[in-house]
Amino acid sequence: MKKEEYISSGVLELYVMGSLSPREEVEVEEMAAKYPEIKEELSKIEASMEQYAFAHARKVPEGMKEKFFSKFDKKEKKSPSMKVVTNKVDGNTGFAPKWLVAASVTLAILTSVASVYLWSKLQAVEKELGVIKLANQQLAESFDQTNNELQSTKNYLSILKNNSTQFIQLKGLEIAPESEAIVYWDKSSGDVFLNIRQLPLPPEGMQYQLWALKDGQPIDAGVFETNSEIQKMKKIVGSDAFAVTLEKAGGSPVPNLDALYLMGKLES
Amino acid sequence: MQKDRKALEYLYDHYSAALFGIISRIVPAEEMAQEVLQDCFLKIWDNIKSFDPVKGKLFTWMAKIARNLAIDKTRSRDFKSQLKSDSPEDYSLMEKNHFEPSINSEAIDVKDIVSGLNQDQKQLIDLMYFRGYTQAEISKEFDIPLGTVKSKVRLGMNKLRSIFNI
């Protein structure tokens, strides 16, 4: 018989309840010795029946224990030598015979070992929980970041796809000839996006500002950071050209033309 | 010797109530049950060297001794003469009248167990574990096939295990 079938047959339960014949009992013991899975199942059944018996325990009447031990002591006095001999033969004269070990192990499992085990388990679980919380937090942050990136990419794409969007290339002027940027301007909606390709880091307390130029008049399109992201700027209704100047942080109402960094005209 | 006595006291302190619970269910007559309990510990003591921890748990082994001694008692002449004066054994009546609640506060309440097991399962387990019925006797008494006894017991036991978290 396969061991799984043997386990599920119910024979192990009957064994623990003492309902098998001696012959059947031997068979179960042999199977348990052969298969660790059967042995494990058996000890679980034993543990539950032990609990079941303890749940059905009956208070032993007062004085029973004393009565038992006075009888026990009398009996032991009669044949003490025999006891010693058996002890020697079995080699179990040490202070912890195997059955006592088994008894104390039973109790230890119920008390100290169990609590130490549970405590260390709790510690481990708490540690694990901490790690998971941290990982979760990191995940949430990276999700937010990804979500933001996705949003700006979507915006970017929608501008690119839009037929009315114009691309204006801004080129570096004398101050920083290497500088470069692109403005995407949707004429119909007025949306302006700025893609900085290259621009020197602004000095402390200063910020770059984008301007639209309409009929020679500068219109504020907002300040921006020099990161690589595509940034949404203020809406611009009409424009002939775009320019970037360096201004004090927060921007200026009129551009400082001495600090003109980028300039680009619309192709007409 | 002193050490061995201490060990036996330890066993008595920890297991006598559980074993008495088993014995009392087989031998309802109070005085006789007490007698069996005392015999049981003497027998445990005399045979303790034959207990093999590899084969199973100590409690299983002790419970078997208690059950067998109690069953032997029910077959003895003084038990039968006692029975004549008592009414015939009624399982459910016995459960109700004879047994006070568990004294072991750490153990799970008996009520919790009973509510988890159905009546059939509990009766089957109790008849075998507490009263020493063999599966053949159960099969005959309840007129169910041997295999069904096994599977019913297994079902009940699995429920017990989930109640005890084992």
B72-97, pLDDT tens digit by residue? 888 877 666 665 544 444 444 344 43
Q: Would the CB atoms of A56 and B110 count as touching at under 8 Å?
A: yes
**Given this model, what pLDDT does residue A134 score?**
67
- B57 inside 8 A of chain A by CB: yes
Q: Cα dist. A200→A249, A251, A257 in Å?
A: 15, 17, 17
Assess A111–B contact: CB distance below 8 Å, yes or no: no
| Interchain pair A99, B49: CB under 8 A | yes
Look up residue A126 and give its two tokens: 């708490």
Domains of chain B: 1-98 (1.10.1740.10), 105-166 (1.10.10.10)
B46 SS3 class? helix
User: B58 and A92: CB-CB below 8 Å?
Assistant: no
pLDDT, averaged across chain B: 78
Distance CA(A5)–CA(A37), nearest Å, equals: 12
Q: Is B150 on the interface with A (CB under 8 A)?
A: yes
A2 to chain B, any CB pair closer than 8 A? The answer is no
What pLDDT is attached to residue B83?
Answer: 55
Interface contact A25, partner B, CB < 8 A:
no
DSSP chain A: --HHHHHHTTHHHHHHTT-S-HHHHHHHHHHHHH-HHHHHHHHHHHHHHHHHHHHT--PPPTTHHHHHHHHHHHHHHHSHHHHHHHHHHHT--SSS-HHHHHHHHHHHHHTHHHHHHHHHHHHHHHHHHHHHHHHHHHHHHHHHHHHHHHHHHHHHHHHHH-TTEEEEEEEE-TT-TT-EEEEEEETTT--EEEEEEE-PPPPTTEEEEEEEEETTEEEEEEEE--SSSEEEE---S--SEEEEEEEETT--SS--GGGEEEEEE---
Mean pLDDT of A23-44: 90
Summarize the confidence of residues A64-75 as an average pLDDT: 88
For B66, the closest chain A residue by CA position comes to A18
Q: Say if the Cβ atoms of A99 and B164 lie within 8 Å.
A: no
Q: At A90, which amino acid appears?
A: D
Distance separating alpha carbons of residues A257 and A190, to the nearest angstrom:
25
Task: Write out the two tokens for A148.
Answer: 């933001």
Residue among B72, B108, B128 at smallest CA distance from A56: B108
Q: Touching check for B54 and chain A: CB below 8 Å?
A: yes
pLDDT at residue A80, as a whole number: 53
- Phi, psi for A175 (deg, rounded to 5): -60, -40
B93: Cβ contacts below 8 Å, ≥ 6 apart: none
CB pairs under 8 A between A and B: 197
Contact predicate A221/A239, CB 8 Å = no
B17, A57: Cβ pair inside 8 Å? yes
Mean pLDDT of A171-178: 91
Within an 8 Å CB–CB cutoff, is residue B96 touching chain A? no
- Higher pLDDT among residues A179 and A96, named by residue: A179
Average pLDDT over residues A12-32: 89
Distance of residue B36 Cα from the nearest chain A Cα, in angstroms: 11
Does the pTM surpass 0.90? The reply is no
The partner residues of A207 in beta bridges, in order of sequence, read A247
C-alpha to C-alpha distance for A43 and A50, rounded to whole angstroms: 10
Q: What is the pLDDT of residues A43-58, one digit of tens each?
A: 899 988 988 888 888 8
User: How far off is chain A from B88, nearest CA to CA, in Å?
Assistant: 22
Interface test with A, best of B6, B24, B129, B139 (most A CBs within 10 A): B129
Q: Could you report the per-residue pLDDT of A122-140, keeping only the tens digit for each?
A: 777 776 776 777 677 778 7
Structure tokens belonging to residue A27: 């068979």
Chain A hits for B53, Cβ within 8 Å: 98-99, 101-102
Closest partner residue to A54 (CB to CB) among B57, B104, B153 is: B104
Which of A8, A60, A95 lies at the smallest CB-CB distance from B17?
A60
Give yes or no for A146 touching B (CB within 8 A): no
Least confident of A17-31, A109-123, B54-68: A109-123
Do B164 and A103 count as a contact with CB atoms less than 8 A apart? no
Specify which residues A186 forms β-bridges with: A165
Closest residue in A to B138 (Cα) is: A19
Select from B63, B155, B144, B147 the least CA-distant residue to B116: B155
Question: Which residues of A are less than 8 Å from B58 in CB distance?
Answer: 99, 102-103, 106
Cβ distance B66 to A58 under 8 Å?
no
Q: In chain B, how long is the greatest CA-to-CA distance?
A: 53
Task: Encode pLDDT of B91-141 as tens digits.
Answer: 443 444 344 444 444 445 676 677 778 888 888 888 888 888 888 888 888
- Across chain A, what does the average pLDDT equal? 82
